[in-house]
Homo-oligomer: A and B are copies of this chain.
Amino acid sequence: MNTPFQFEAWLRSHGQRTEAALEASLNSSDIHPARLHEAMRYAALGGGKRIRPLLVYAAGELSSATDPNIMAQTAATLDAAAIAIECIHAYSLVHDDLPCMDDDDLRRGRPTVHKAFDEPTALLVGDALQTRAFEILANTACSSEMRIAMIASLASASGSKGMAGGQAIDLESVGKKLDLAGLKQMHAMKTGALLSCAVSLGGIAAQLSPVQMQHLAKYAEALGLAFQIVDDVLDATADSHTLGKTAGKDAANDKPTYVTLMGLDYARQAAADLHAVALTSLASFGNQAQALQDLAGLVVHRGK
């Protein structure tokens, strides 16, 4: 008889696993230049929900490997994928917080990198964290084919047709009346692409079949959209202390959001509908998808 899945314990252990893997990868006290590496550690360690690494690990649980050697290699590959995608996420936050972008002083309840260090250092921290992500994947101890698949997925998700492109659309949308389709596309690129990539990286590490990867992609698409809708709901309803960042900034900047476009009730219903789609997409995986299921719940119900 299997032990019932304990999501809280899974969350805790995989949060710690992420932190430990990041810590090991960014442990550079003896590396020149010290200040840049210290700022990279400040940006990546010690906080954050770690949603993307958790998605990597949760998708990795779909592996059917039973050979101990393959299981060990899969675990190491998952660690690399988890910290690589977190480095990309951290870089995007550091650059997003800069004065010329969102000009945020607070992130995860602490001063942003350009406040704790300085603006040029923050610029370089973001640049170097991006590079580090690809370096980590290139040096992972799995086949070259798997490494290339992960690098191609991460680059596609984070570049001008993914996250960075979504950021550019977001910039242009200030003061404009973006419609629902435009808002969806912006979100799909700005946050959805990287969340989908997290799930894909876990699937690649777990050596899933193309059909299984398609189910995962459907799950991730619904989850990504739900994630952003919930973000908009939280921005409109929570205070800065709860968020760990400045609340109400989108409304203050006259940026279109799901809440400003369709009202709070519709946005909440849309998130609930997407949650259901995400769960349905996992049906064929059975109990092995429990972590992915529970993560979807966590994303939709966070901040409540």
Contact = CB atoms under 8 A, between A and B. Distances in A.
A164 B32 contact: no
A134 B132 contact: no
A138 B120 contact: no
A290 to B, nearest CB: 32
Given A131-B160, A151-B138, A152-B135, A124 B32 contact: no
Nearest to A122: B100
A130 interface: yes
A119 interface: yes
Contacts of A185: 32
A121 B171 contact: yes
Interface residues of A, number: 50
A130 B37 CA distance: 19
A256 to B, nearest CB: 15
Contact of A155 (B121, B131, B158, B161): B131
A130 B92 CA distance: 13
A36 interface: yes
A172 interface: yes
A114 to B, nearest CB: 8
Nearest to A40: B160
B128 A130 contact: no
Given A138-B152, A147-B148, A168-B121, A160 B101 contact: no
Contacts of A37: 160
Contacts of A131: 130, 155, 158-160, 164
A127 B164 contact: yes
Interface in A5-42: 28, 31-33, 35-37, 40
A73 to B, nearest CB: 16
Given A35-B168, A160-B40, A168-B33, A127 B126 contact: yes
A98 B160 CA distance: 19
A123 interface: yes
A100 B99 CA distance: 10
Nearest to A127: B164
A134 B148 contact: no
A194 to B, nearest CB: 12
A265 interface: no
Given A120-B100, A128-B159, A36 B134 contact: no
Contact of A167 (B124, B132, B138): B124
20 contacts: A31-B160, A33-B168, A33-B169, A37-B160, A95-B123, A100-B120, A121-B171, A124-B160, A124-B164, A124-B171, A127-B164, A130-B131, A131-B158, A131-B159, A131-B164, A135-B155, A135-B156, A135-B159, A138-B151, A148-B148
Q: Which 9 A-B pairs have the closest CB atoms?
A: A131-B159, A135-B155, A144-B144, A36-B168, A128-B160, A100-B119, A138-B152, A128-B164, A138-B151
